[in-house]
Each structure stands twice: as C-alpha cells, then as structure tokens.
Structure 1
Amino acid sequence: MQQGPWESFVGIIRSLLTPIGLGGSAEFIAILPFLILIYIIYLATVRATKISFRKVGMPREAGAGLIFLIRLIFFGIAFVAVLAVTNLAFGQELIALSALIGTAVGLAFSKSLSNLVSGIYVLAARPFRVGDYVRIGTLEGIVLEVTLNYTRLLLPDYNRQYVPNTKVLESEVTNFRIRIDDYMANRGREWIEEQDYESRVSMAVEKLRYLTKGDEIFRYTFDIHVHRDHSIQEIREIFDSLCKEWRFKFVQLPEYFYWSNTHLGLIFRFEIIVKEAKQLLTVGADFQEVLAQSVTRR
C-alpha cells in the first residue's frame, strides 16, 4: 500500500530516532512542527486583532474576551489535530469526540460567548458611549466603560455597577444625551445660547462651529407624585416658583407638565437640561429633593 505524506514523514523521523531508542515516539515528535505552525498562526491572528482594535479606538479591555475566544479555537484545532495524526482517534470516533468536546465547551462558555456576541453588537451599534447618562432597564447612571463583556455604570449613589451586555440588549435603553438643535427643532423652537462674544467675528466662528457640530446636552426627565389633598393651582404655583428659582442652575428654565394620575394623587413629569452628565448627580438630584420636600411639607 502506498504511504501518504504523513506516514512517509513519520517513517523518516522513526528511522532517525530508532538508533537512539526513541523510534516509538516518532509520531509524537513528528507532530511538533505542525503544532509550532499553529502557534505561529495563533500569534499572528492575535496581533492582527489587537492592531485592528487599536485602529478603531476600542479600549484594550474590550478585546480581552475576543482574544480568549481565539485562544479556545486554536487550542481545539491543535487538540483535534494531535488526535487525528497520532491515530489515537480516527474516523467516527474522532468525529464523536470532536462533537463531545464542542458540546462541552459550548455548554461551559455559552453564557460568556453570548455576552461576547452582545458586547460586539453594543460596540458596533453604539447606543451610548463613555460619558453618557443612560437608563438600562431599572438602572441608570453615567457610562464609565464599555467592554465586550460588561458595561460599567456610575449610579446616582456613586456605586459602580457592572451590567452584562446580554442584559443591555434585553432591556430598554434610554440615552439622555441629545443634540440641542434637534431637540429644539422637535419642540418648534430656536436655540439661542446666552453668551457674550468679543466681536462679530467670534460670534460668526462660534455659529459656524455650532452648525457643523451641534451642541450636545443631557435632557433628563423624572416624575413627582402629588397627593390629592393639594389643589392643582396650589401645586402649579409651587412648581413655577421653584423652576424660576433654579433657572440659572440649568441650561434653560426647568419645565413640567401633567403626566397621569393614580388613586393616590397626580403625577407631574419634570424636564431639566444640563451640559455635563455629572450635573444630573449633583444639581439635578438637589432639585428633585427640593421638589419632593415642597409637596410633602404643605
């Protein structure tokens, strides 16, 4: 029977090792060049992946999960190759063993792999970015970091919450960052920022910058519950007074409107606009506290 390339190669290795008593290990030693080749391809793949991540500006931590997945794939290739070329498993046995290993790895890492796929989607779709104030399901806060596995939030109580990216995809996501010109256009208004310019040239340059880029702000809404004992006129007087008092704490005068009612009372929805997300954790939280106190003291 004519020998194949692999058998011929093993025969050469065996003839060289037999004089020193290692002829029985010829198959294992012959596989070493193949394993070295797989390792070189693995290093090249990992390096190319890291360079690609760096070019698109993806943080280093975001690639850790994908690098781990690549490592698993190459390990599986090397393991199955060793079994095949050394005749430790062949034919249907090799297929069955490969399927068993694949199933075991899939079950062991199904949640992690699902998280990785979700992370890739989040990074590609970019429903939010670092620095945004978002609400993910029942959680809300400032986005500190987005990786392939988790999205890290700074909560209003200054705790740091790691949200799995699978939960990000399964939950409703609200991003409070908007372009103020788009917002004003939706409201049928024109945005005019109260700002002093040194000259008409400075004003023209600033307007040109604004038209090409647009100012981004954070528009946050929250609800205030009012007991039925209060009259609507009384509540409106209180809210109007507080909104005017806090006018210069925000980009524009805080607004409110009737939202709904329950068996306990009425619900008013407030809108505040700030330039920095962290202001929602400071002046925004203070304003909510003042509003809550104003309707509970009376």
Structure 2
Amino acid sequence: MSWWEELSSWLAWVSEALGPLLPYVEMLIIVIVAVVVERVITRRVRKAVRRLELPPDAGNAILLAVRVIILVAACVAILNIGGVHAAWLVSLSALGGTAIGFASTRSVGNLIAGIYIMVARPFSVGDYVRIDGLEGEVVEITMNYTKLRTPDGTTLLISNQKVLDSRVENFTYEGPGGRRLVRGSFKVSFDHSTPSGELEKALEALLERWAGRLPERPAFRLSKWDKGGKEYTFTFSVEKAGDLLAVRHELLREVLRTWEELKAKRS
C-alpha cells in the first residue's frame, strides 16, 4: 500500500471517528490557517514598507486590505462548511458590495488616491506645492486628505481624489550641498519707455545684490513681448516655505523701484 493510500485510509478513519464533530474541526483548522497566513503576510508587508520607506499610513492601509481579504476568505470557507450554499454567498457579497459602493464611492476613491499618493510620492511632507491653483506647504498627508499651510498661515484640506484629478506643481528641490530649497516666482510687466538692454542691466545689478541674501542668486527671463510692453518672470529660492511671501513682496518692491528710477532718469 502506497503512502497516499495509507493517508487516505487514515483520513477516512478520522472522519468516521469524529462524526458530527468533523465540521467544527474543519472550521478550527481554517481559523488556525487564516491566523498563520495573516501573521506571515503581515511580517513580510512590514518589512517591505520599511525597505521602501513608505509612510506609516500607507503601510497600515495595505495591512488593513490584506487582513480584510483573509477574513472574508476565512468566513466564506467556514460558512460553506456550515452548509451555506456558495451561490448565496456570491449573491450576498455582490449585494453588499453594491450597497457599499453606492454609499461610500467618494470615501473609497479618497482612500485609493491616498494610497497612490503615499506610494508614488508626487510630493512629501514639507514640500511647497500648487494644487489646482491652491498653493502652500504640505504639513500632513492622510488616507483621505492632504493638508496645506499657505504662506499667510491658512490651513487648507484638499481631498486626495481632487489631488489626483488636478495639476500638481512641486516647487521644492535639492539645492547645492543637498539643501532642501523652495522656488518662488512672480511676473512683472514693463512698458517700452525704457530700452530692454538698459532695463535688464539694472535688473542684473539688483539681483546681484540679492545673491548673498538668498541660498541661490535670483534670476529673471523675458517671458512675453508685444506692442503694449514686455513681461519678465523672476525666480528666487528660500530655505523655508514660510519666507516665500515676505521675500516675494520685498524683491518685487525693489524691482518696481529700480524701474521707476530708470524712468525718472530718462524723463
């Protein structure tokens, strides 16, 4: 007799010996297997989260999804052993899924979007971003919302679904020496009363004086030219997002003062 035949014979004897207790033993085995599988997968997921340096919220969301799947699978198996027909289980699952889908479409969408943001990392906490025209420093990323703090101190909550559906601009970058810097910008239009060469020479001198006050020397470029005048875009960098508003205001004021002085000399 082969080992397979011996095993089959032994299982048949156990089944006959247990009699009415057999379904309960099978349910217990399913519970034990589910617990073991959950422990093994949880350990591996946590190692992967640490290796990939994912945010804690992303790791918790993945673990929650894994546990829900294992729990549902175990419940289906136990109910099937208890005599509940599989067709009924499928029907109830479909009905429940439809109800949940109608009741929480937005919440589920936000959760999925939150997981995507945490994994893809289009921005991180501390970055200065613009989302659908709203800009500020990212102070928190949760499973449902991204929280921004604007330069004037206002706190904005933007749903993660809206973040994915919107254009996102990240103004944070790594500067010289690995310093984390935030880039700011503004545009100024000038008429043609002052020649471009003379204006640009004066602006270069102004920005050179600012070179020692900021992490990087400010710069400007011609961004528009028409019969009515010319438009220049100015860019600058700061180390703290909270300094953007003050630096932008002061630099803009000095640019306008420089232009007014040039106009006064020519008049």
Q: Aligning the two structures, in what range does the TM-score lie when normalised by the shorter sequence?
A: 0.5 to 0.7
In structure 1, C-alpha distance between the alignment counterparts of 2:254 and 2:65, rounded to whole Å: 51
Gaps of 5+ in 2: 1-10, 260-267
Does the 8 Å CA contact 2:150/2:156 hold for their aligned counterparts? yes
**What does the per-residue CA deviation read over 1:100-151, in whole Å, with 9 as the maximum and x for residues that have no partner?**
2333344445434433443443344333333322212222222334455443
Match of 1:192 in 2: none
TM-score, normalised via structure 1 length: 0.62
Offset at residue 163 of structure 1 (A):
3.3
Equivalent of residue 250 in structure 1, options 211, 214, 217: 214
Q: How many residues of Structure 1 are paired with residues of Structure 2 in the alignment?
A: 246
SS in 1 for 2:163: helix
Secondary structure of the residue aligned to 2:135 is: strand
1:134 aligns with 2:95: no
**Number of the residue aligned with 2:97:** 102
CA RMSD of aligned residues (A): 4.3
CA distance in 2, matches of 1:223, 1:285: 11
1:223 and 2:187 are equivalent in the alignment: yes
Measure, in 1, the Cα distance between the counterparts of 2:155 and 2:27. Answer: 49
Measure how far apart 1:266 and its partner are: 7.5
Taking a change above 3 Å as real, the CA distance of residues 252 and 53 of structure 1, as seen in their structure-2 partners, is closer
**Equivalent in 60, 66, 79 of residue 62 of structure 2:** 66
Partner of 1:12: 18
Q: Indicate if the aligned counterparts of 2:188 and 2:233 stay in contact, CA closer than 8 A.
A: yes
Distance 2:94 2:16 in 1: 28
Map residues 153-192 of structure 1 onto 2, 5 A cutoff. 153-178=148-173
User: 1:93 corresponds to which residue?
Assistant: 88
**Residues 43 and 109 of structure 1, relative CA distance in 2, 3 Å threshold:** farther
Aligned-pair distance for 1:90? 0.8
Q: Deviations over 1:75-109 (max 9, x none)?
A: 3223322321111x314323222322333344445
SS in 2 for 1:161: strand
Mapping for residues 258-277 of structure 1, pairs under 5 Å: 259=223, 268-274=232-238, 276-277=239-240
The one-letter code sitting in structure 1 at the alignment partner of 2:250 is F
Give me the identity figure in percent: 30
Query: Could you say what secondary structure the match of 2:215 adopts?
Result: coil
Instruction: After TM superposition, give the deviation of residue 56 of structure 1 in Å.
Output: 2.0
User: How far apart, in 2, do the equivalents of 1:149 and 1:11 lie?
Assistant: 54
| 1:220 CA displacement | 2.0
What is the aligned counterpart of 1:49 among 45, 49, 56?
45
Give the 3 Å change call, closer, same or farther, for CA 268–102 of structure 1 in structure 2.
same
| 1:63 and 1:148 in contact (8 A); partners too | no
Partners of 1:13 and 1:30 within 8 A in 2: no
1:278 — aligned with what?
Answer: 241
CA contact (8 A) 1:59 1:147 kept: no
Contact 1:131–1:144 (CA under 8 A) maintained in structure 2: yes
Q: Return closer, same or farther for 1:248/1:175 CA change in 2, 3 Å cut-off.
A: same
After TM superposition, the structure 1 = structure 2 runs for residues 225-240 of structure 1, keeping only pairs within 5 Å, are 232-233=193-194, 240=203
**Counterpart residue identity of residue 36, structure 2:** I
Unmatched tracts of structure 1, length 5 or more: 16-25, 182-209
Secondary structure of the equivalent of 2:194?
helix
Cα distance in 2 for partners of 1:44, 1:96 equals 31
